Structure 1
Amino acid sequence: MTQPTSPAPRTGARILVDALIANGVERAFGVPGESYLDVLDALADTAVDFVICRQESGAAMMAEAVGKLTGKPGICFVTRGPGATNASAGVHVAQQDSTPMILFVGQISRSMRGREAFQEVDYRAVFGTLAKWAVEIDEAARIPEIIARAFRVAMQGRPGPVVIALPEDVLSEIASVPDAPPVEPAETWPGLTDMMRLQKMLWAASKPVMILGGARWNPKAIASVVRFAERFDLPVAASFRRQMLFPADHQSYAGDVGLGINPKLVARLREADLVIVAGGRLGEVPSQGYSLYGIPDPGVTLVHVHADPDELGRVYQPALAINASASAFAAALEGVQPPNSIAWAGWREAARADYLGWTETPPSNPGAVQMATLVRYLRDLPRDSIICNGAGNFAIWVHRFHRFRAFGTQLAPTSGSMGYGVPAAIAAKRAAPERTVVAVAGDGDFLMTGQEFATAVQYGIPVVVVLIDNGMYGTIRMHQEREYPGRVYGTTLKNPDFAAYARAFGGFGITVETDAEFKPALDAAFASGQPAIVHVKLDPEAITPTTTLTTLREKSLAAKA
């Protein structure tokens, strides 16, 4: 009997890189560090696209964006100590956004543990509550086992980030160990009884509504939900920063359940007698500060669908809890049959009319640049264009007035992390160079990770950044004027010439100060074929689509009088 051939000896770093390639990894992001030089050397012999970034938070956010777009773990490498703590911002985004991601962190040698060696950190303790799983590899022979488990943990159930610490001596250690097979995440399918109960609830309803959110979606699943909405004449809303989950130009789309929500949509959600929450958690923002429904009894017939059983009943106790991934649930909807006659005739049409009224008749804002007009220009971009943003009041205009019409066209952090939009756009354009990618950023938001514009220039990644400059941390100023009217402190910014900033890096920069200048400037940015910044100067009074700083201050002073 022939004995199996023993695998050729390899370094831990080579074993690690081979495991990534076996799982289909084509791209990784990172900032180099001496703690994982062996991995960099192993990557040099492969076709893996290692994108060198300028700061670890940007690198981690790029990896998170890839995970969000593809449903497979985005990969990031950073060095120990400050490299890891810088990357924690991206890990937090992945955790709150339910995004598969694996962060590899260089670590001190095993023999130095416990001495507070140079940049020593206990990563299991630091990331234990921030990541879905944090682990340190103790021997090279276990690398295939741990990498396989990491991919599975990152993708299965509720997706999330995994942090893996790599001691330097483990990466150089020689081991003879076979590769693990590539990981395919398990799907959790709804039971037939669950779907029959859902059908009975729909037949008994008079004002049903559906809210889509979370992760584990794909284009096929969205198509199934669209057919379901059409067969049941059902209004469908998207959760906070998940607007790409249902086409905004479809007659069933009722708007987004996020910040700056349409008051008529809030009223409709409260009036509904059946609410189907599919994929999302109905967290603080979509629940309007946990005020939309009661806790733990929501006071409405609630159907909650989620891939993680621990999320079912965590806050709201549903009438029907369905433990299923979003894509599996969407497929099962094909078998749910509508009643002979729809009891909620006109309900969907009214929801659609409310949405169009909210988004097609924008109020004007102070100043020569109208934010609603600016955002509406973005609707003319190709249907599969990817719009990215970080955090700030500027994003309220994007969410309200843009039309996300296809899956995979929105990259935005439900965690509310500033600095996300630019790294996300760079990652998206690198992964899909044939698609149009635009980052909409605020001035404070941009400079959190603006140095990654250098990464775009270095790799020739022609993203366009629409940079909204109002000279302040606008969201915080808004809250400040509401709580401490007229007492402005700590929120004013002195900004550079952002168009000149772009040119200094070797990109294209142009400044916009009026409505009429925006579209020609945007066209010029695309035509340049370079990474570009369209620097838009916005009147500071234009704080939201529905109020100004002065109005907010006056109302606050009157309320406190």
Structure 2
Amino acid sequence: MARHGGQILADQLAMRGVKRVFSVPGESFLAALDGLYEAGIPNIVCRHEGGAAMMAEAYGKMTGQPGVVLVTRGPGAANAASGLHVARQDSTPMVAFVGQIARDHRDREAFQEVDYRRFFGPLVKWVAEVDQTERLGEYIARAFDIACSGRPGPVVLALPEDMLSAASEMADLSVPARLPAEATQAQVSSVLDALKQAQRPLVVAGGPHWSDKAAADLARFAEGFDLPVAVTFRRQDHMDNRHSHYVGDLGVGMNPALGQRLRQADLVLALGTRLGDTATDGYTLLDPTAQKARIVHVHADPDELGRVWRPDPGIALPAPAMLAALSHVAGRPGPWGDWTAAARADYEAWQRPKETPGTVKMEQVISWLSAHLPEDAILTNGAGNYAAFLHRYFRFKGHGTQLAPTSGSMGYGFPAAISAKLENPDRPVICLAGDGCFQMTLNEMSTAVQHGANVVVIVANNGRYGTIRMHQERTYPGRVSGTDLANPDYPALARAYGGDGIVVADQADFPAAMERALAAGCPFVIELRLDGEALATGFTLSEARAMGQRR
């Protein structure tokens, strides 16, 4: 039976188990909207393509299945690029369908015409334009396969509107079964042999493909071999932070003691991580040009092995597959017991709150959240000085409780929270955002209200872009430009959208505010009135300025 391209698209999505799509509608893909209606796939209509793309990315990060976003041509595609960048740097499977001008109008700079192969080429894993309706299923299948293969990432398919509205009798393509990856005995033995020769090993876990089982396998492996485990930037839910062998995160604002352990390690077992510039503090803790530590690198993408580091060996395998095998090996602790215990002690010391100025203190806010939220609560955030408090003082208890961009994208936390709540309606979802970060995507409040995503947003309001101001004061002390912010009344704004909120100006009022927020039947904003001098580094802005003046 003949179907138009939009119906073919929706039927292929349904066959692949797509639960929902995120979109901002456009006339260039009306046929796709009609197909979604016919197939009964929920369409989460958003207020900006950047927010829609970030919601789709968050879905992919949570589930391991490609998040799907539909946006229109030209400006819509350009707006969505921010979420695609997150997916690329975070190794998240994602498929973006972009409306396109009619095929017979191409190469005339028609209304909103963009060459998507050139525009998205450096940003995504693969980009293509579908010219024939009868090949639509083939392209969709390839898009999903590429999004999930090797190192996962985003894929873009451009859909000319006349192709999408044309009819075809093409049959649906079945979804092939995939056998899970398994570690070979030789691969496992190579890891064990490297451990036998180590004195100061450090496991560094990160990257995609993680699961509850992988987190449990990592803990079992670490226990059996008495190994210290660090995680990379914003991958803190890869292992229960309360575990005796968890030693912290190698991210922005990392514990200096942990950074020194990475520098001193004679063996780095890198599981799933690329060991990029953030984890290595700009390649100063590990230097690719003068590599001293032995690096055993386990990564799903064979092209990643040897690209920056000289692995010995490099193992092309998803990290969870290696851990599944290692977790069943009888433990063989080496001569590094004191090294592991000291690394954990460093982490415990780093967790002790360092007081900041003001009547509301972020270190106490995060400590309260860590101690009182249910263990399955999901925390999201974007980027800003406030996030360093979360990284330092919150203990993530299980996989799937952290949604944050390793790309450092501001504005991510709120769309991600909406996506998380839609996927997990019975779990508390809390978004941490700065006043600058939240204002980038707070228009999605109407998306949250419309679709019943009752998230809690904690806004750290210090009246400035705090991280940039901190660097500004150190580099150009006393010369403030472009970092101060005018802010709305956030609770009033939430109420205008149909949510609710409260201002907290005293630390003693925060617990009651959180109880009210968690019990609310609508999106709820808690605005924290912070002292503008407070910084996550433990210094104040005045001290940062003084450090700059002494240079």
Q: What TM-score do you get using the length of structure 2 for normalisation?
A: 0.98
Query: Are residue 367 (structure 1) and residue 358 (structure 2) matched?
Result: yes
Question: Which residue number in structure 2 is paired with residue 176 of structure 1?
Answer: 169
The one-letter code of the counterpart of 2:2 is: P
**Post-superposition offset of 1:188:** 4.5
**Post-superposition offset of 1:47:** 2.8
Question: Which residue number in structure 1 is paired with residue 508 of structure 2?
Answer: 516
Query: Are residue 408 (structure 1) and residue 389 (structure 2) matched?
Result: no
Secondary structure at 1:444 match in 2: helix
Separation in structure 2 between the aligned mates of residue 210 and residue 137 of structure 1, nearest angstrom: 44
**Post-superposition offset of 1:302:** 0.8
Separation in structure 1 between the aligned mates of residue 475 and residue 183 of structure 2, nearest angstrom: 47
Say which of 255, 258, 261 aligns to 1:262. 255
Q: Is the 8 A contact 1:16 1:143 kept in 2?
A: yes
Question: Which residue number in structure 2 is paired with residue 222 of structure 1?
Answer: 215
Query: Are residue 70 (structure 1) and residue 63 (structure 2) matched?
Result: yes
Question: Which residue number in structure 2 is paired with residue 395 of structure 1?
Answer: 387
The one-letter code of the counterpart of 2:79 is: N
**Post-superposition offset of 1:139:** 0.7
Q: What TM-score do you get using the length of structure 1 for normalisation?
A: 0.96
The one-letter code of the counterpart of 2:346 is: D
Q: Is the 8 A contact 2:452 2:522 kept in 1?
A: yes
Q: Is the 8 A contact 2:260 2:285 kept in 1?
A: no
Q: Is the 8 A contact 1:152 1:184 kept in 2?
A: no
Say which of 441, 458, 464 aligns to 1:466. 458
Summarize deviations over 1:114-140 as a string: whole Å, max 9, x none.
111110111111000101001100111
Say which of 512, 516, 521 aligns to 1:529. 521
Change (3 A) 1:531 1:183: farther
Say which of 187, 198, 201 aligns to 2:194. 201
Question: Which residue number in structure 2 is paired with residue 36 of structure 1?
Answer: 29
Q: Is the 8 A contact 1:60 1:90 kept in 2?
A: yes
Question: Which residue number in structure 2 is paired with residue 558 of structure 1?
Answer: 550
Q: Is the 8 A contact 1:28 1:75 kept in 2?
A: yes
Question: Which residue number in structure 1 is paired with residue 343 of structure 2?
Answer: 351
Separation in structure 1 between the aligned mates of residue 315 and residue 492 of structure 2, nearest angstrom: 53
Secondary structure at 2:107 match in 1: coil
Say which of 453, 467, 470 aligns to 2:445. 453
Separation in structure 2 between the aligned mates of residue 42 and residue 149 of structure 1, nearest angstrom: 20
Question: Which residue number in structure 2 is paired with residue 21 of structure 1?
Answer: 14
Q: How do 1:255-294 and structure 2 match up within 5 A? A: 255-294=248-287
Question: Which residue number in structure 1 is paired with residue 206 of structure 2?
Answer: 213
Question: Which residue number in structure 1 is paired with residue 467 of structure 2?
Answer: 475
Question: Which residue number in structure 2 is paired with residue 233 of structure 1?
Answer: 226
Secondary structure at 2:288 match in 1: coil
RMSD: 1.2
Separation in structure 1 between the aligned mates of residue 462 and residue 176 of structure 2, nearest angstrom: 47
Question: Which residue number in structure 1 is paired with residue 435 of structure 2?
Answer: 443
Change (3 A) 1:212 1:176: same
Separation in structure 1 between the aligned mates of residue 193 and residue 37 of structure 2, nearest angstrom: 58
Secondary structure at 1:309 match in 2: coil
Separation in structure 1 between the aligned mates of residue 53 and residue 176 of structure 2, nearest angstrom: 22
Say which of 225, 228, 245 aligns to 2:238. 245
**Post-superposition offset of 1:479:** 1.1
Say which of 162, 165, 171 aligns to 2:158. 165
Say which of 137, 151, 170 aligns to 2:130. 137
Separation in structure 1 between the aligned mates of residue 537 and residue 476 of structure 2, nearest angstrom: 21
**Post-superposition offset of 1:274:** 1.0
Separation in structure 2 between the aligned mates of residue 409 and residue 510 of structure 1, nearest angstrom: 25
Separation in structure 2 between the aligned mates of residue 169 and residue 28 of structure 1, nearest angstrom: 22
Deviates more, 1:145-154 or 1:522-531: 522-531
Summarize deviations over 1:129-176 as a string: whole Å, max 9, x none.
101001100111111111111111000100000011010011111111
**Post-superposition offset of 1:184:** 4.9
Secondary structure at 2:38 match in 1: coil
Separation in structure 1 between the aligned mates of residue 327 and residue 393 of structure 2, nearest angstrom: 31
Separation in structure 2 between the aligned mates of residue 431 and residue 302 of structure 1, nearest angstrom: 37
Deviates more, 1:29-38 or 1:322-331: 322-331
Separation in structure 2 between the aligned mates of residue 48 and residue 376 of structure 1, nearest angstrom: 40
The one-letter code of the counterpart of 1:513 is: A
Question: Which residue number in structure 1 is paired with residue 495 of structure 2?
Answer: 503
Q: Is the 8 A contact 1:189 1:323 kept in 2?
A: no
Separation in structure 2 between the aligned mates of residue 349 and residue 208 of structure 1, nearest angstrom: 12
**Post-superposition offset of 1:444:** 0.5
Query: Are residue 59 (structure 1) and residue 52 (structure 2) matched?
Result: yes
Question: Which residue number in structure 2 is paired with residue 4 of structure 1?
Answer: none
Secondary structure at 1:131 match in 2: coil
Query: Are residue 378 (structure 1) and residue 369 (structure 2) matched?
Result: yes
Separation in structure 2 between the aligned mates of residue 179 and residue 245 of structure 1, nearest angstrom: 37
**Post-superposition offset of 1:342:** 2.8
**Post-superposition offset of 1:219:** 1.3
Separation in structure 2 between the aligned mates of residue 184 and residue 295 of structure 1, nearest angstrom: 39
Query: Are residue 92 (structure 1) and residue 96 (structure 2) matched?
Result: no
**Post-superposition offset of 1:327:** 2.0
Secondary structure at 2:373 match in 1: coil
The one-letter code of the counterpart of 2:303 is: D
Say which of 83, 108, 119 aligns to 2:101. 108
Separation in structure 1 between the aligned mates of residue 488 and residue 347 of structure 2, nearest angstrom: 38
Separation in structure 1 between the aligned mates of residue 438 and residue 319 of structure 2, nearest angstrom: 33
Q: How do 1:147-162 and structure 2 match up within 5 A? A: 147-162=140-155
Deviates more, 1:217-226 or 1:246-255: 217-226
Q: Is the 8 A contact 1:304 1:312 kept in 2?
A: yes
**Post-superposition offset of 1:288:** 0.5
Say which of 423, 430, 441 aligns to 1:431. 423
**Post-superposition offset of 1:335:** 4.7
Secondary structure at 1:367 match in 2: coil
Say which of 293, 301, 309 aligns to 1:300. 293
Q: Is the 8 A contact 2:366 2:393 kept in 1?
A: yes
Separation in structure 2 between the aligned mates of residue 547 and residue 286 of structure 1, nearest angstrom: 23
Summarize deviations over 1:58-79 as a string: whole Å, max 9, x none.
0000000000000000000001
The one-letter code of the counterpart of 1:309 is: P
Separation in structure 1 between the aligned mates of residue 191 and residue 112 of structure 2, nearest angstrom: 54
**Post-superposition offset of 1:461:** 1.2
Summarize deviations over 1:514-544 as a string: whole Å, max 9, x none.
1111111111111121101101111110122
Separation in structure 2 between the aligned mates of residue 135 and residue 186 of structure 1, nearest angstrom: 27
Separation in structure 1 between the aligned mates of residue 423 and residue 341 of structure 2, nearest angstrom: 38
**Post-superposition offset of 1:372:** 0.8
Say which of 57, 73, 84 aligns to 1:80. 73
